[in-house]
């Protein structure tokens, strides 16, 4: 498994989601990454996709760390972490194909959607 393979797999997962929503992937990159551009496009279609933004960033981070790792063990560890992030992303995408709105109330978004969100906390 390589970082490139993991990135392509993650991009393919989001491309499949876009295709299921009759959207052609737009060209380009965000911050130098195709994955982030595809994620941004999906989030414009379904705001619940924002729930996996940090997963996409974590995948990229771990791949970048693997590419500069000092030894093979560290490189392998970083690629395993990237693989876990990619698996998490693929599961989220698959779940959101089955259940519209999946991620709307993820742990990061929950405070924004809570009934008392407009109330100042004491």
Residue 50 CB partners (closer than 8 Å, separation 6+)? 43, 103, 109
Of 11-15, 54-58, 79-83, 110-114, where does mean pLDDT reach its minimum?
110-114
Beta bridge partners of 50: none
Mean of per-residue pLDDT scores for the chain: 84
pTM: predicted TM-score of the whole model, two decimal places: 0.79
Q: What proportion of the chain, given as a percentage, has pLDDT over 70?
A: 80
Asked if the model's pLDDT at residue 5 lies above 60, the reply is yes
Task: Specify the 3-state DSSP secondary structure of 53.
Answer: helix
Reading the block at residue 82, the tokens are: 């990237």
Q: Are 10 and 86 in contact (CB under 8 A)?
A: yes
Asked if the model's pLDDT at residue 111 lies above 50, the reply is no
pLDDT in tens, 47-82: 888 888 999 999 999 999 999 999 999 999 999 999
Whole-angstrom Cα distance, residue 106 to residue 33?
24
């Amino acid at each position: 498994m390589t970082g490139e393979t993991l990135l392509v797999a993650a991009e393919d997962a989001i491309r499949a989601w876009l295709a299921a929503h009759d959207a052609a992937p737009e060209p380009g990159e965000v911050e130098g990454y195709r994955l982030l551009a595809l994620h941004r496009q999906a989030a414009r279609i379904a705001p619940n996709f924002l729930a996996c933004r940090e997963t996409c960033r974590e995948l990229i981070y771990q791949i970048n760390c693997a590419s500069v790792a000092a030894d093979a063990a560290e490189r392998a560890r970083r690629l395993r972490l990237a693989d876990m992030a990619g698996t998490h992303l693929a599961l989220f995408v698959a779940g959101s194909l089955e259940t519209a709105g999946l991620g709307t109330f993820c742990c990061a978004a929950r405070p924004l959607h809570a009934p008392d969100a407009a109330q100042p906390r004491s």
